[in-house]
Amino acid sequence: MTEIARISTPLSEAWPSWLMLGLLVCFVLSEVLQPETLRAAFRTTFTKMERIYGDRARNLYGVILLNLFRIGTFAMALYAFTYHSAPFSLRTYGIIIGVVLAVLTVRAAVSWLVAYTFELQRTVVIYLPQYDNLWTMLCVLLYPAILLCINFSGEAFHWLAIAIGALFVGVMIFKIVQYFYAGPQSVLYLLIYVVTLELLPLGAIIVTTQSLT
């Protein structure tokens, strides 16, 4: 009798479920070490507050665990969203994490270069905790969507991920305008910033991930 090869998909593999459990543990521990991280992320999203949890002394282990949760969750969401027919493997997931880290590192370096060039260091320092909170909110919203994908329906996940991504981009643009708008003359600079330092890196990550899956 001919053995039928098992098709590797997010639904058929066991490792995504174990990985998501590990990421959840990372987030819970980070919340224990840094109380009110999640609350601050949602509370400050639509407000302009200069004193938030990011201004206080932060627990190093809590920061590391939170970053593990965010990077791991974001990379898994990208993998699930761009997955086509290649085997759904842990190796490819690791490569995607590397791509995300590389793009975000380049983006951060260019952002600080722009800040120093236009003497916006103080504004950027105030804005960064808000941006950090926004990424936390994005990954917290993506987490249950990923669980939906790996346990029930990939098609439903795609639509939910698009809605969450659109919300993230919209709120991100709102925060950038809130902090950096300085009159009509700044609109062009804000547009260039959003396209080159926010949308372009995100697009590069998505296109690279699609080429891997």
pLDDT digits (tens, 9 = 90+) for 129-152: 888 888 998 999 999 988 888 777
Instruction: Identify the burial level of 145 via C-beta atoms within 10 angstroms of its C-beta, where 0-12 means exposed, 13-18 middle and 19 or more buried.
Output: buried
And the tokens for 91?
A: 């190796």
Q: CB of 155 within 8 A of CB of 25?
A: no
Q: Which residue has tokens 């995300």?
A: 100
Note the pLDDT tens digit of each residue in 150-164.
777 667 788 888 898
Mean pLDDT (whole number) for 2-14: 60
Note the pLDDT tens digit of each residue in 65-111.
999 999 999 999 998 888 876 778 889 899 999 999 999 898 888 88
Q: CB of 47 within 8 A of CB of 11?
A: no
Note the pLDDT tens digit of each residue in 12-41.
678 888 999 999 999 999 999 888 777 777
Residue 4: pLDDT band by 50, 70, 90 thresholds?
Answer: very low
Separation in Å, CA 78 to CA 155, 156, 202: 14, 15, 10
Is residue 3 over pLDDT 50? no
DSSP 86: S
And the tokens for 34?
A: 């840094």
Find the angle CA(171)-CA(23)-CA(40) to the nearest 5 degrees: 40
Note the pLDDT tens digit of each residue in 163-204.
988 888 888 888 888 877 777 877 887 888 788 888 888 888
Q: Give the distance, in angstroms, between the CA of residue 17 and the centroid of all CA atoms in the same chain.
A: 19
Phi, psi of 153 (to 5 degrees): -140, 120
**Residue closest to 134 by CA, chosen among 71, 43, 57, 33:** 43
Which residues, other chains included, contact 159 with Cβ-Cβ below 8 Å and sequence gap of 6+? none
